Structure 1
């Protein structure tokens, strides 16, 4: 099974295959290009070859995924291609390449690790929040950008080679998820921090409220189709957190509940923390920070998120709890932590 495929704007399916020294770019299962692979340095790969046709530059993404997704230490892929200048320009404009450089036989496209992981085409499976004109509205006394309509179904999907598993996040559904949500909320360890133990009707009402609230997007996270966590993402500018720090227009936040004990533990925690952050940053490139406000006595969770790049800025008093203000910068995430796993 090819784990990295992408539907191009013209509807054709792009994929890739890798042998010891060659990387093949495929369109509709047919070979478009065979690129010679070399590794002049431990953190750098060079691909050399010709593009006899000029597809959409996103056709290169599955080939890049075979390299970046399987090697956390890889920092750059340089593609020395016999291709037209317009193709090279489009590759940079579409975020497939970081930069381009003229060569005698064509163009050299460089793709950094940060550039690769900020390209949403492989991971987002629903319309993103980006693209709307900047239009300010009021929610109560809070002035903030008008938010995009909420997506439905699966919003993010990624194959995890380190676990040989497919990780997905989808928008929560009362009809589909009430039973598991009800079970999770009534677990003692969950109730200790969420304080939402109750009956099915109360939990159905709570879930529907989050679905109806324009600032929140409730998600169910799954490993290979098995639900294991509930993530309640929100736009921080109109959230109750905003008065406690200098909230920016596109800051995002997330409340976390891991209900399936089979998917707890450090290895899985690293994966899903990085995955939810990856999704929130990809969903709108204007999002520069992800924030959180866990209870200060949730020491284990605070330690986990700090290990993934979050900084503890301060402690403060919410009306209902003493909280830790946690913040992750976009630049730090894609330069140092990112979704690629441990190096």
Structure 2
């Protein structure tokens, strides 16, 4: 098999020949011909992603490549040393931020501050542009999340908020001017992040992310300093059903865990009477931990831990269902 990758240093495309041996539980990726370590490592990681994107059986992925390529995989945090070589573990690979975040940065230094009487870490904010990309093999499409900085983004959001189906849940009907002010307020607040979800660059939904400590839900449970929360509105009615849900929902959780490695829990607050949404969340690994009351709604407080997401490989469609095939251990014996 041959992977075509772009060498960022020379801006040229390079073909990388890889071989695949081993078993479904322990495949081995071989670098057939020498290639620059950065390019070779990228090709190996792309192949490892493909092997683990839809299959929970993979225990480990052996790598047969030169020492510089192996060192690159170790430096990225996608592999561990095993004897004189390296092997990729799915739980390491899928926490390798550089693989999915175009602007992968080191963790922001922790500096505690206070907002409205609540102590929380100072938040770094987010650079404009695409924040996450992932190829979805069962759709044959590329999913991405990006900031709302392009012409027409707020107008699209406004149209969605005035759609009766969305308005029934969101209760944010309004004019374009009102919605411009709404998004501007969120963009000015480092505790929140409004995003558009896209498939092949075409927007399909609105995602509103927040740091739980500073949010309205923060005082209602024991929020950790890096807990994140989210709201969603799927504006494109064509992007419905399990294949799409199993693409955008775990990808959003994946982004939140990658964006801040200290985030250990993600929470949500769907309406308590929104049975379908709660079923979807339970089927994706979330658990309801409380029922909470806001002035405008009674909500189910749902939670997903990083450990559960990584251990049970919840990026794989159907991995969270009760009768899913047993998973191998997250860290197999060396």
TM-score of the superposed pair, with normalisation by structure 2: 0.86
In structure 1, C-alpha distance between the alignment counterparts of 2:6 and 2:53, rounded to whole Å: 15
In structure 2, C-alpha distance between the alignment counterparts of 1:339 and 1:325, rounded to whole Å: 22
Can you give the 5+ residue segments of structure 1 that lack an aligned partner in the other structure? 14-26
Q: CA deviation at 1:73?
A: 3.7
Q: CA deviation at 1:337?
A: 3.8
Match of 1:210 among 164, 186, 198: 186
In structure 1, C-alpha distance between the alignment counterparts of 2:192 and 2:3, rounded to whole Å: 31
Can you give the 5+ residue segments of structure 2 that lack an aligned partner in the other structure? 320-334
1:61 aligned partner:
45
CA contact (8 A) 1:123 1:158 kept: yes
1:17 aligned partner:
none
Judging by fraction of residues, say which structure has more strand.
1
Residue pairs, 1:203-282, within 5 angstroms: 203-282=179-258
Which structure has more relative contact order (CA 8 Å, sep 6+)? It is 2
Q: Name the SS for the 2:282 alignment partner.
A: helix
**Deviations, residues 271-313 of structure 1 (Å, cap 9, x unaligned):** 1111110111110111111001111011111110111100000
Q: CA deviation at 1:316?
A: 1.6
Q: CA deviation at 1:12?
A: 5.5
2:260 aligned partner:
284
2:87 aligned partner:
110
Q: CA deviation at 1:80?
A: 3.5
2:324 aligned partner:
none
Q: CA deviation at 1:190?
A: 1.4
CA spacing shift, 1:201–1:174, aligned 2, 3 Å:
farther
Match of 2:20 among 37, 45, 52: 37
Q: Please, what is the CA RMSD of the aligned residues?
A: 2.5
In structure 1, C-alpha distance between the alignment counterparts of 2:312 and 2:25, rounded to whole Å: 14
TM-score of the superposed pair, with normalisation by structure 1: 0.84
In structure 2, C-alpha distance between the alignment counterparts of 1:134 and 1:265, rounded to whole Å: 40
CA contact (8 A) 2:198 2:205 kept: yes
CA spacing shift, 1:3–1:37, aligned 2, 3 Å:
closer
Q: CA deviation at 1:28?
A: 4.1
Q: CA deviation at 1:341?
A: 2.7
Q: CA deviation at 1:48?
A: 4.2
**Deviations, residues 200-223 of structure 1 (Å, cap 9, x unaligned):** 111111111111111001000011
